[in-house]
Amino acid sequence: MTSQAALIERLRQLLSGEASVREVSMFGGRSFLVDDKLVVCARKPGDLLVRVDPERHDALVDRPGAAQAQMGRGRDMGPSWLDVAADAIASDDALSFWVGVALEYNRKIVAG
């Protein structure tokens, strides 16, 4: 099983309790949407694209393995998007943390 496939399975398990989950191919990987809003994306090398509250960006980008997400070379995706390295989400607790951060922001934007 590839790193990406393993991550996809882990994400499916973590998101199984959400009422409205949809998977789509997007951002070069398998993206997970909750209530039609992107939450996370499992990328081919096994890293994770995470949609976060821009108000928490500065604190979250300082976490181990986190970096500002880019769409192509030198094109910043903005403060709502972080890349998290595969080794930084190797443990279930670490992956749960990032999925929790993404779901927290998802609930905030869905509620409006």
Question: pLDDT tens, 27-41?
Answer: 889 999 999 999 999
Gyration radius from the chain CA atoms: 13
Distance CA 91, CA 59 (A): 21
Report pLDDT for 110.
85
Give the CA distances from residue 16 to residues 6, 13, 68, 77, in Å, rounded to whole numbers and listed in that order. Answer: 15, 5, 27, 28
pLDDT tens digits along 7-61: 999 999 999 999 899 999 998 899 999 999 999 999 988 999 999 999 999 999 9
Share of the chain above pLDDT 90, in %: 82
Sheet containing 37-43: order of strands:
21-26, 29-34, 37-43, 48-51, 81-84, 66-68
Mean pLDDT of 84-111: 96
The SS3 call for residue 64 is coil
For the segment(s) 3-111, the CATH number from 3.90.1150.30, 3.40.50.2000, 3.90.110.10, 3.90.1150.10 is: 3.90.1150.30
